[in-house]
Amino acid sequence: MPEQSYTAAEQALFERELESRLRAELPNVREEEIKAAAERAAQRELEQRRMMLREELDSEVADTTVESPTELRDEANREAPSKLVVGLIMLILLLFLLVVYNRGQVPGFGSASNATGTTAAGNSASGGLEPILSGPLATPGALAAQGTNGAVNSQIGSGLPNAGGVDARNSIPSIDPNINPLFVPFYYAHDGLRVFGRPLGPIQTVNGRQVQWFERTRLEHWPEYAGTSYEVQSGLVGLEYTDGRSFPTQAFFTSRPGLRFFPETSHGVGGKFLDYWETHGGLDIFGYPISDELVEILPETKQYHTVQYFQRARMELHPQHAGTPDEVQLGLLGRALYLNEAKSAPVPAVPPTPVPLP
């Protein structure tokens, strides 16, 4: 095939076209070369930085290995005096607590029982009172219907075993500073030490009502009865203490001297318990009977005692004090509920003996 020849004009046009294409491709080639060069420079910089960090780390590890024993020794020497002082303080506190425990009392902070009672106040305040504070079962109307005379005795006689001493006959009773002023008049007007016992803790507010716990009860402030004899009432601790227990009821009988039937609860009260009920406040202080007489082992004496439960108290017969004001005593229900102590051990109850009609 014969070789094709081009004219000078065509040859010049071809060269110009080739040069134009080469010039167009040249920037792309340069850009790729620049990127490759930049990547190689970055890798070299990263490798150099890695080597520098490794050298610094090796240097720090070497310095730490050499200096650690010295630093630890210096630090121990600095901390030794402070640790010695803390140890001495803890030893002194331990000795002080041992002395307080043996004496049973912290000087200037009241008796041990009061301190314990204050600690337990939160538990008592958080539960157990709500259903009791909804309203008194012995309402003013019911009290008036019973015709109670509200007779009370003065605070005289020898001390009760579990309530501390009482003032001598015809002496002016000293006011316990631990009793809140809100309850002081009511407390001392109702033979407070015998009937209510000593205060266990400060006044507190439960379900919007102000109350204070005592060994034998819980006094409650009822402002809706302000100005009446029902402004301060004893709590229904008998019902709370026996919650969940059931007692045999008494068949109806006609009340007579020394023996009284309460149709409101179908229980009877007689003998020394009735005398105590009538002479120490009656329905106002004790409420209705919720059991007849029964026998229980009391946790305080670990002995059998004849007892009877009322809405607001438990009466106990202590024959070892026969013929004295302490023959009938009120149980420490307030203390048992407030401090969550062990309850009395009931002997299986039997139905009360029916009282013959006259």
Of 139, 356, 142, the C-alpha closest to 262 is: 142
For the chain, the residue count is 358
For 74-129, the pLDDT digits (tens) are 777 777 787 888 888 888 888 887 776 655 433 333 333 333 333 333 343 333 34
Residue 346 burial (CB < 10 Å; 0-12/13-18/19+)? Answer: middle
CA distances from 330 to 71, 90, 206, 251 (A): 71, 44, 25, 26
Query: Which regions of the chain are under pLDDT 70?
Result: 1-4, 27-29, 61-69, 100-173, 349-358
- Please report where in the chains the tokens 């630890």 appear, as a residue: 72
- So what's the pLDDT on residue 271? 93
Report CA 202 to chain centroid distance, whole Å.
14
Every domain of the chain and the residues it spans: 112-346
Q: Which residues contact 80 (CB under 8 A, 6 or more apart)?
A: none
- So what's the pLDDT on residue 335? 93
pTM of the model: 0.53
Strands (E), 183-289: 204-206, 209-213, 218-221, 232-234, 259-262, 267-270
For 156-194, the pLDDT digits (tens) are 233 333 444 445 445 556 788 999 999 999 999 998 899
Question: In whole angstroms, what is the distance from residue 95 CA to residue 109 CA?
Answer: 18
- So what's the pLDDT on residue 87? 84
Of 134, 145, 139, the C-alpha closest to 228 is: 139
- So what's the pLDDT on residue 110? 34
Backbone angles phi, psi at 274, to 5 degrees: -65, -40
202: alpha, beta or left? (left if phi > 0; alpha if psi -120 to 50) = beta
Question: In whole angstroms, what is the distance from residue 235 CA to residue 253 CA?
Answer: 29
- So what's the pLDDT on residue 311? 96
